Structure 1
Amino acid sequence: MSVVASLRRTRGAAPALLLAALALTAAAAASAQEASGGSDAPAPLLHPMFQDHAVLQRGQPLRLYGSAPPGQQVQVEFAGRRARARADNDGRWEARLPALRAGGPHALTARAGERVQRVEDVLVGDVWLCAGQSNMELQVWRALDARAELADAGNDRIRLLTVPKAGAALPQDDFAEPVRWRPVDADAVRDFSAACYFFARELQRSIDVPMGLVSAAWGGSRIQAWTSGAALRAAGGHEDELAALRQYAADPVAAGARWGELWGQWWRGREGAAAGDEPWRADYAPGRDWRPAPPELGPWEQWGVAELAEHDGMVWYRASARLDAAQAAQDAVLVLGPVDETDMTWVNGRGVGSAYDPGGAREYPLPTGLLQAGDNTVVVNALDTYRAGGLGGPASAQYLRLADGSRVPLQGWRYRVESGSDWPPPAPWQSAAGMSTLYNGMIAPLGRYGLRGMLWYQGESNTLEAERYADQLRTLRADWRDRFGEGLPLLVVQLAGYGMPKAHPAESGWAELREAQRRVADEDTGTGLAVTIDIGDRYDLHPPNKQELGRRLARAARHVVYGERLAPSGPVPRSVRREGETVTVAFDDVDGELLAYGAEGPLGFELCGPAPETCRWAQASINGQEVVLRGAPAATRVRYGWADSPLLNMFDGAGLPAGPFETSIDE
């Protein structure tokens, strides 16, 4: 695929609320350091995943690993079993012990020469990796009835570990910060993933074994950031981004210039692009559509400009800095202050940096020789997709910092508003929106820790490219199974409803992404789906009812992972057939009969022709475990719940909703 074609298809991060980082407390860091013997003690032999209060996966050979001097033999002992391994040339070692049943607590000991590390209170049970974006990250203190939940929290048989937030251009062996396992109590669970915790709490009522929960989540993240570079490369379509990422790992300044060229190709190739309209060029002459920016800068929604009052999209900024010859000869850093959310920045027509960090400060080192005596042009394209956006003020916060410590202010700020939602591609090194960055910084450091399964709650940030999500989800599933175990179960949370309902049928990226999630789950017996369409919040991207989500995830796990004979996620369409003037949809996985709450029949069914924008509401009635539709005899497709936030009322006897779907009509 060409550079331009690839970038046209990568339309940038979808609207997202980047939650505050789940930082470890100083006490946690101190405890982890103490566990490893203190700052002056030798480095631990065991990987940080193996420490006090850990949970190891039952029923499979135990893979233990860590670091030791190259060539040194390491002996490990756990629950009466022993094994030996020898550190390789990089100092990495791995040993295997036979599978164990659930139980404990046990002690784990590693010895290498005179060095001994002992880990206490280790349980054997089921370990779950909970990953995704802000709805997986959402903490227990933000869930429904949080005060009571925290007051009642106390379960030594559920252990929690939060992976520190970190993006990286290359796979990392170690975590960005110290980690530790913590038994559930009010303090430990308060900032932990609510979805993950309520899942394990519910599951433990049926599967009575210790549970270990590993949370790795980042608000606003795209699925590409959680997928390894090798898997993305094999899937194809990301060659330019991955090449830029490799360059960034070695030379960020040169990578900034290269990404500026790729960004420019996207700009010139977008729909409606005007020839010669390249605002980043040093010789570009701003026209009358460029207006003076207020000296305080700050969020553009607060400028008092009508077209910016609720603007989500791009705004161009342009300023200059005048230097003499001595100043221009110095090394320099461009300081922009905070930017919300994403910027692409040029100096004298050359790309110097790009970042996605809502409200985060930007500082970009400039390549030697880029600055010149006289005027130097600085151009910033700022993209905001949620709430306040733009350059943080005042204008004095933006300047060139020269090697001698002096500052040269940027002057004459002007701006131009861009309309439309054809948003630019994110730089591949951006933490939450990049390519493999979160895999490298948050998944790779886990090593190949034994897991029972994976929970995945993500997709809001990919709704602008929903047509690609099914393949992206398949790629991630195969990628993580390659790391953690072939056939490892995956439980997918289908996106909840968000936004205002529509009065008429319409196309929806959210609905299209839900359909991708449904189809990927349906094609693989090791993948389950938790339908949440009825527990969303039209006013809040982060619905707080994570208790019900936990119950549905646990139900899916009981079916997919533990083989219980129960419907995993509510009614699902089995077949669609035409019968004269009607269309009949037959459902499977119905507990009892189908029910329509609050109306004589189900709401939300559509009959559609083959082309977009041809759907019409259908009159629907329930007949046992079937729904009969009337209204469009020439229809070729049936849709149900096809909207960002559909109004739906069909459930089964267990109170589980029929999830959104689209399917063709059998003739």
Structure 2
Amino acid sequence: MNIRKVKIIIVLFCMALPVHAQNVKKVKLSPVLQSNMVVQQNQPFQVWGHAPAGTTVTIQADWMDAPVSISANAGNQFLGIIPVPAVRPGDFTRHRITVSGAGETQVLDNVLIGETWICSGQSNMQFKMHETLDSAKEVPAAVYPQIRLFSAGLNFSNEPLDSIGGTWQECTPGSVRTFSAVGYHFGKELFAKLHVPIGLVFTGIGASSAQAYVPREVLAADTMLNRVYLQPYLDSPKSKEKMDGGFTFEKVTRPFLLYNAIIHPFVNLSVKGFIWYQGESNRSERESYTRLTQTMIQSWRTAFKQGNLPLYYVQVAPFWYDQDDAALADYAFFREAQEHISSLGNTGMVVTMDVGESRDLHPKNKKPIGVRLAKTALNRTYGALSIAYQGPKFDFALFGKKEVAVHFLSETVRNGLETNNGNAPEHFFIAGADKNFYPAEARIEENHIVLTCHKVKNPVAVRYAFTNFPVTNLQNKDGLPALPFRSDDWPEPILQK
């Protein structure tokens, strides 16, 4: 064979390579859809991906009597909807979903039908199981093949993405080790009570701000959010930078980039709801943060198109921020702004004041937080009304000349009050008309608290755990901590810088 013939063969071979590669990957499923995943029970399930325009894609799950066929649209995308039955407690049947098109077949094996939740936020949600207080006990015991885990790869994007990194895995000591501790304990508690498969998707990143998880057009449509968050970013040189997936502490605070890259890829996924642990990066904000987070929740509900999906979130734990002044309350005012988020329907907040560590921004006792989120979901979403999920919540105070009686909403103290260490309740403060607060002695009487303070002759206001880093001991007899509160509406003092 002469040299000229060899060259022709090589050229023809090289020309054929792209065609061959294209033929191999004509139909591509979304990377969210994989073997080992949990499919949300009792609601339509979407199967989506990319294929050449006009390609017929056929979807067949082993629980379906007949397949569903759709055609890829002009944008080379397809989306099919298949029915999913309700799953009975104790049914851990492993299923198969087959997707065919353009002469190719892809199979999703070891698929379970159950409940799927998205877990998002910043570092305290990302906090890994092997870093927790009880990791030596919990990690080796995490053998739950009926719980499936997905950790989304970090990315940033100026435009909404369809792709995401990550792999669905069975819950084992190896896979759970680096998974979200709050997410795992949430899922484990759901599994223990519901006895159905649980799917958990973690998609978040440490140090991130809430505005990073809100679509650009949603921020632009709100006058306050546009002014506070979006426009300052768009007016800055940072907004003109070429975007890549590398982490920086600054990049995770930029508006909309995380929504585009690590939330939007999941919007076609059928889910039961969301859990959220974030706030430290927005701690200097008040009304704007409440509005921002409520808007984020509503934007996710709109994007996922699955109705009024629940979102349960965590109030930030006590922390001193290198200011060893027990009277400072700026972080308490932020926690109050977080509490106001729950005025939005189908949301709920869990409290961490008793499991925080005043000198550690990342408290290591994550199990109670995940369990409390699960209790909230079990009561509110799954209708297990016998499961208590609220700690004592302030109702009103009766001010006498010598004593103040603090009353809580009756449904939050139905079994009574106690402290978690047997001591008197701590972190109560009383003020007179001069607005100066002094520590009060507290005692439990039935379902209310009686306070005395000799320094205040005519009390007009009471506060509980309304400072930056109080680690509390007051709870109801269901073991749930009291919510911080203040009876006054006095403006927040302006801190001297």
Q: TM-score normalised by the shorter chain: which range applies?
A: 0.7 to 0.9
Match of 2:475 among 625, 628, 651: 651
Matching of residue 482 in structure 1 with residue 482 in structure 2: no
| Distance across 2 between alignment mates of 1:627 and 1:73 | 68
| Distance across 1 between alignment mates of 2:457 and 2:260 | 52
Cα deviation for residue 153 of structure 1 reads 2.2
Matching of residue 167 in structure 1 with residue 156 in structure 2: yes
Contact 1:609–1:637, Cα closer than 8 Å, also in 2: yes
Matching of residue 80 in structure 1 with residue 64 in structure 2: yes
| Higher normalized strand content (fraction of residues) | 1
Matching of residue 539 in structure 1 with residue 359 in structure 2: yes
Cα deviation for residue 591 of structure 1 reads 4.7
| Distance across 1 between alignment mates of 2:269 and 2:247 | 35
* TM-score normalised by the chain length of structure 1: 0.63
Encode CA deviations 1:442-477: one digit per residue, 9 max, x unaligned.
Answer: 001113211111110000111112342211221111
CA 660–55 in structure 1, closer or farther in 2 if over 3 Å, else same: same
The count of corresponding residues between Structure 1 and Structure 2 is 456
Q: Kindly report which structure 2 residues correspond to 1:316-335, keeping only aligned pairs within 5 A, or say none.
A: none
Cα deviation for residue 436 of structure 1 reads 0.8
Aligned to 2:53: 70
Aligned to 2:426: 603
Matching of residue 259 in structure 1 with residue 236 in structure 2: yes
Match of 1:218 among 198, 205, 219: 205
Give the 3-state SS of the residue equivalent to 1:213 in structure 2: strand
CA 546–600 in structure 1, closer or farther in 2 if over 3 Å, else same: closer
Aligned to 1:122: 111
Q: Which runs of 5+ in 1 are unaligned?
A: 1-36, 247-257, 261-343, 345-350, 361-383, 385-429
Encode CA deviations 1:570-607: one digit per residue, 9 max, x unaligned.
Answer: 21112334456544321131252212455764221223
Encode CA deviations 1:334-366: one digit per residue, 9 max, x unaligned.
Answer: xxxxxxxxxx8xxxxxx9979999996xxxxxx
Encode CA deviations 1:542-584: one digit per residue, 9 max, x unaligned.
Answer: 1111122222222111111112223213211123344565443
Q: Kindly report which structure 2 residues correspond to 1:381-400, keeping only aligned pairs within 5 A, or say none.
A: none
Matching of residue 229 in structure 1 with residue 216 in structure 2: yes
CA 563–39 in structure 1, closer or farther in 2 if over 3 Å, else same: same
Match of 1:89 among 53, 67, 74: 74
Cα deviation for residue 77 of structure 1 reads 1.1
Q: Kindly report which structure 2 residues correspond to 1:356-371, keeping only aligned pairs within 5 A, or say none.
A: none
CA RMSD, Structure 1 to Structure 2 (Å): 3.0
Matching of residue 496 in structure 1 with residue 317 in structure 2: yes
Give the 3-state SS of the residue equivalent to 2:284 in structure 1: helix
Cα deviation for residue 128 of structure 1 reads 0.7
| Distance across 2 between alignment mates of 1:183 and 1:239 | 42
Contact 1:501–1:643, Cα closer than 8 Å, also in 2: no
Cα deviation for residue 57 of structure 1 reads 0.5
**Higher relative contact order (CA closer than 8 Å, sequence separation 6+):** 1
Cα deviation for residue 183 of structure 1 reads 0.3
Aligned to 2:14: none
| Distance across 1 between alignment mates of 2:383 and 2:31 | 33
CA 115–610 in structure 1, closer or farther in 2 if over 3 Å, else same: farther
Encode CA deviations 1:289-312: one digit per residue, 9 max, x unaligned.
Answer: xxxxxxxxxxxxxxxxxxxxxxxx
Q: Kindly report which structure 2 residues correspond to 1:337-352, keeping only aligned pairs within 5 A, or say none.
A: none
Contact 1:57–1:451, Cα closer than 8 Å, also in 2: yes
Aligned to 1:112: 101
Q: Which amino acid aligns with 1:445?
A: P
Contact 2:388–2:478, Cα closer than 8 Å, also in 1: no
CA 634–502 in structure 1, closer or farther in 2 if over 3 Å, else same: farther
Matching of residue 593 in structure 1 with residue 416 in structure 2: yes
Aligned to 1:12: none
Q: Which amino acid aligns with 1:576?
A: A
Matching of residue 620 in structure 1 with residue 431 in structure 2: no
Cα deviation for residue 204 of structure 1 reads 1.0
Matching of residue 639 in structure 1 with residue 463 in structure 2: yes
* TM-score normalised by the chain length of structure 2: 0.83
Cα deviation for residue 94 of structure 1 reads 1.5
Q: Which runs of 5+ in 2 are unaligned?
A: 1-19, 490-497
| Distance across 2 between alignment mates of 1:636 and 1:245 | 44
Cα deviation for residue 538 of structure 1 reads 2.0
| Distance across 2 between alignment mates of 1:492 and 1:120 | 33
CA 355–64 in structure 1, closer or farther in 2 if over 3 Å, else same: closer
Cα deviation for residue 195 of structure 1 reads 0.9
| Distance across 2 between alignment mates of 1:356 and 1:533 | 37
Cα deviation for residue 498 of structure 1 reads 2.0
Contact 2:394–2:408, Cα closer than 8 Å, also in 1: yes
Cα deviation for residue 44 of structure 1 reads 4.3
| Distance across 1 between alignment mates of 2:232 and 2:359 | 38
| Distance across 2 between alignment mates of 1:608 and 1:480 | 42
| Distance across 1 between alignment mates of 2:147 and 2:119 | 14
Contact 1:494–1:514, Cα closer than 8 Å, also in 2: yes
Aligned to 1:550: 370
Give the 3-state SS of the residue equivalent to 1:552 in structure 2: helix
| Distance across 2 between alignment mates of 1:357 and 1:158 | 29
Cα deviation for residue 127 of structure 1 reads 0.3
| Distance across 2 between alignment mates of 1:230 and 1:637 | 43
Q: Which amino acid aligns with 1:237?
A: M
| Distance across 1 between alignment mates of 2:388 and 2:199 | 25
Q: Which amino acid aligns with 2:48?
A: Y
CA 114–577 in structure 1, closer or farther in 2 if over 3 Å, else same: same
Q: Which stretch of the first structure deviates more once superposed, 636-645 or 649-658?
A: 636-645
CA 352–62 in structure 1, closer or farther in 2 if over 3 Å, else same: closer
Give the 3-state SS of the residue equivalent to 1:117 in structure 2: strand
Matching of residue 46 in structure 1 with residue 35 in structure 2: no
Contact 1:502–1:646, Cα closer than 8 Å, also in 2: no
| Distance across 2 between alignment mates of 1:58 and 1:599 | 44
CA 630–466 in structure 1, closer or farther in 2 if over 3 Å, else same: same
Q: Kindly report which structure 2 residues correspond to 1:293-442, keeping only aligned pairs within 5 A, or say none.
A: 431-442=251-262
| Distance across 1 between alignment mates of 2:264 and 2:480 | 36
CA 353–73 in structure 1, closer or farther in 2 if over 3 Å, else same: closer
Match of 1:511 among 310, 329, 332: 332
Q: Which stretch of the first structure deviates more once superposed, 543-552 or 491-500?
A: 491-500
Contact 2:426–2:473, Cα closer than 8 Å, also in 1: yes
